[in-house]
């Protein structure tokens, strides 16, 4: 009887709903949470590090190069106004300017005395570096050449005529006398007309042209009778490259 009662109590105690059964106690000092997993070490990026170093070194090298270039600037001769082809170089045509860079062929300031013995081989414009290949030792005239002044009459010359222009001079004909080619020449200067102050020009602009000596009389005669026409056949021609030929009957 007692044994049956004990068994019944055991069953009833196990089958009572809502009653919690005790689990094994957790030892003191231990945590019920799982231990945290250590994070992996951060990966270093050697490529980015090397690139940063290269950029720093390259920047320093570039700054040093620029500093050297600034320090290597030297005073050279620069043209302060336009110098026409064949014109003699003078001090008042030149100024000093600091320029850096190799291979420019610029003439140092301390050689200015040598430069003033030369002539312009071609037209040199304001602000242009003075270089040896722009100069010549002799005047623009050869033994068989001459300079003539040709008045620039409206309609008988191309507008914008300037120093360094290669031209063809023609005697303008009429109904009884055909036009005649006189020569080819080179314009070395243009003198602008001055106003008389009465609403018209006191005189026409004049072109100084290098022509063959054999045709000087015909060119001067044609200008005196206002029968000379000018044709533009080339621009930016140096005195050494110009073709100055007699095209008249006497030159053939």
Cα dihedral value 156, 159, 160, 166, nearest 10: -40
**In contact, 236 and 121? CB cutoff 8 Å:** no
Question: For residues 36 and 38, what is the distance between their CA atoms, to the nearest angstrom?
Answer: 6
Over residues 180-239, the pLDDT tens digits come to: 999 999 999 998 866 555 555 456 799 999 999 999 999 999 999 999 999 999 999 998
Beta bridge partners of 168: 184, 231
- The reported pTM is 0.61
Those residues with Cβ within 8 angstroms of residue 105's Cβ, 6 or more apart along the chain or in another chain:
129, 131, 132, 133
pLDDT in tens, 87-113: 999 999 999 988 875 656 889 999 999
Structure-token pair, residue 217 = 């009389």
What is the Cα–Cα distance from 243 to 227, expressed in whole angstroms?
Answer: 23
How far is Cα 19 from Cα 13, in angstroms, rounded to an integer?
9
Q: How far apart are CA 69 and CA 62, in angstroms?
A: 11
The rounded distance, in Å, linking the Cα atoms of 181 and 164 is: 21
Q: pLDDT, tens digit, for every residue of 130-167?
A: 998 999 888 878 889 999 999 998 889 999 999 999 99
């Amino acid at each position: 009887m007692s044994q049956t009662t004990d068994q019944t109590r055991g069953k009833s105690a196990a089958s009572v709903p809502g009653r919690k059964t005790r689990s094994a106690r957790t030892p003191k000092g231990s945590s019920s949470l799982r231990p945290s997993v250590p994070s992996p070490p951060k990966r270093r990026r050697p490529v980015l590090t090397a690139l940063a170093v290269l950029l720093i070194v390259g920047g320093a090298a570039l700054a040093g190069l620029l500093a050297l270039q600034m320090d290597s600037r030297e005073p050279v001769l620069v043209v302060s106004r336009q110098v026409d082809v064949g014109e003699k170089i003078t001090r008042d045509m030149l100024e000093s300017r600091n320029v850096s860079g190799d291979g420019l062929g610029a003439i140092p300031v301390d050689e200015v005395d040598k430069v003033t013995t030369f002539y312009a081989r071609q037209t040199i414009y304001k602000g242009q570096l003075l270089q040896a290949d722009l100069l010549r030792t002799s005047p623009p005239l050869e033994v068989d050449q001459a300079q003539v002044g040709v008045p620039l009459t409206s309609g008988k010359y191309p507008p914008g005529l300037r120093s360094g222009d290669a031209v063809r001079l023609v005697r303008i004909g009429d109904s009884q006398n055909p036009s005649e080619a006189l020569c080819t020449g080179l314009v070395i200067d243009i003198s602008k007309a001055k106003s008389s102050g009465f609403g018209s020009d006191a005189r026409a602009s004049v072109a100084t042209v290098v022509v063959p000596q054999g045709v000087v009389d015909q060119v001067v005669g044609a200008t005196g009778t206002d029968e000379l026409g000018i044709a533009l056949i080339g621009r930016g021609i140096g005195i050494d490259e110009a073709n100055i030929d007699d095209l008249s009957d006497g030159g053939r």
